[in-house]
Every structure is written in C-alpha cells, then in structure tokens.
Amino acid sequence: MAKTKQFTVSLDNHPGAVAAIAKTLGDAKVNILSLLGTAQGTAGSVQLIVDDARRAKKALDSARISYQETPAEALDLPNKPGALSQCLGKLAAKGVNLNSIHATAAKGGKKAVVVYTAEAVAKAATATA
C-alpha cells in the first residue's frame, strides 16, 4: 500500500477539456499514473494520480486550473476473481467509508491497481495491512 495524493479537477464537459489538463501536466514533465473522468450534462470532473504531486500542483497553479488535493491510497492486488472483494471487505469491516475508488488491470497482467480515498485514511491503512 502506498500513500499518494489524488487531484480532482472540476471542468466543463466539452471536447478537449481533459486534453488541456493532460497537456499542462505533460509539459511540466508530470506523468499521469491514473485517471478517472466522469461527466453529467455540461459539467464533469477528472481524478488524477501523478508521479510528482509537488510539480503537478505547480503546473496546475501556473495554468490557473483549480483542483482539490486529497490523501489517497494505492494498492496492488492480485489480478484474480475475488481479490477486490476481499480487500473491500476488510475496509468495510473496519468502518472505512470510501469517497472514491477506481481500479485497473492490464488484460493478462498479474496485478491490479486500486486507488481510493476514504473518510478515515488512518482506519483504511490499518484495515488493508
């Protein structure tokens, strides 16, 4: 389990909105490790995990892109049926309430990556140990 920062950017839902964020970070040599974007109607949001939070903040600030920074946890799980359920069951048993979660695995890969934010990060850390 690794502690990280999640950046949430609210944006207008139009072509190129996410591309502008990716360009801002890419031009600053910030690598996006995880991204989840959602939209409803004319508004949307993007949740990002990056390799260098300090550099990302500087780039977003310079571009006048507003964001919310939230502590998050990143977990490597076995890429097999039931692994996510087992992990989430441990969190639930400890009373951890998830605020956001996204996961991905490469087809045929041995590991899945799960990123989540929670109301009680301290509880979450002990629940997954």
pLDDT tens-digit map of 31-68:
999 999 999 999 999 999 999 999 999 999 999 999 99
List for the chain the helix, strand, coil content (%; round to 5).
30, 45, 25
Distance in Å from the first CA to the final CA of the chain: 8
Residue 122 pLDDT level (bands cut at 50, 70, 90): very low
State whether 78 and 37 are in the same domain. Answer: no
pLDDT value at residue 128? 54
Residue 80: how many other CB atoms lie within 10 Å: 11
Query: Would you say residue 119 has pLDDT above 90?
Result: no
Domains contained in the chain, number: 2
Distance CA 56, CA 41 (A): 28
Domain closes at, from 25, 55, 70: 70
Among residues 104, 63, 88, 72, the alpha carbon closest in space to that of 1 is found at 72
State whether 52 and 79 are in the same domain. Answer: no
State whether 30 and 86 are in the same domain. Answer: no
State whether 66 and 120 are in the same domain. Answer: no
pTM of the model: 0.83
| CA 43 vs CA 10, 14, 22, 40, 129: distances in Å | 8, 9, 18, 6, 37
State whether 77 and 93 are in the same domain. Answer: yes
Domain carrying residue 111 = 71-127
State whether 93 and 56 are in the same domain. Answer: no
| Domain CATH number, residue 80 | 3.30.70.260
State whether 123 and 88 are in the same domain. Answer: yes
| Domain CATH number, residue 25 | 3.30.2130.10
State whether 94 and 113 are in the same domain. Answer: yes
pLDDT value at residue 1? 63
Instruction: Quote the mean pLDDT of the chain.
Output: 91
